[in-house]
Amino acid sequence: MAFAFYAPLSISTTSFGYQQAQAAGAADADTGMKRVTLIIKKLRDAMGSMKDFDELEKAGLQKKDVDRMRRAMDSKIQQMMEDAIYAIRSI
């Protein structure tokens, strides 16, 4: 009785597919890091603008208007923080 043993010839395509998957994962991580960096930069700018509201109030803008602007900016900052957390988790 004779048995024929053979190895599949597609091993290289499997490993190549794995390398492609690794490269795609690295590209996704790089894109994700760029997105996180951009979100954090915008978040930092938005937090810095909160100080501008004090200046507007000192310049004579009504307190209720300044408070409304603060609430709107605070809401925007909260949303950007959630976006940053989501982007970090997706990396």
Average pLDDT for residues 31-52, to the nearest whole number? 92
Contact 69, 50 (CB under 8 A): no
Give domain status of residue 7, yes or no.
no
CA atoms of 65 and 7, how far apart (whole Å):
76
Give domain status of residue 45, yes or no.
yes
Average pLDDT for residues 27-32, to the nearest whole number? 82
Provide the domain limits for residue 36.
30-90
Give domain status of residue 21, yes or no.
no
- Number of separate domains in the chain: 1
Residue 25 — pLDDT band, cuts 50, 70, 90? low
If one compares 10 and 27, the residue with the highest pLDDT of the two is 27
Give domain status of residue 13, yes or no.
no
Give domain status of residue 76, yes or no.
yes
Residue 26 — pLDDT band, cuts 50, 70, 90? low
CA atoms of 73 and 37, how far apart (whole Å):
20
Give domain status of residue 84, yes or no.
yes
What are the structure tokens assigned to 43, written together?
Answer: 């978040």
59-79 pLDDT, tens per residue? 999 999 999 999 999 999 999
Give domain status of residue 2, yes or no.
no
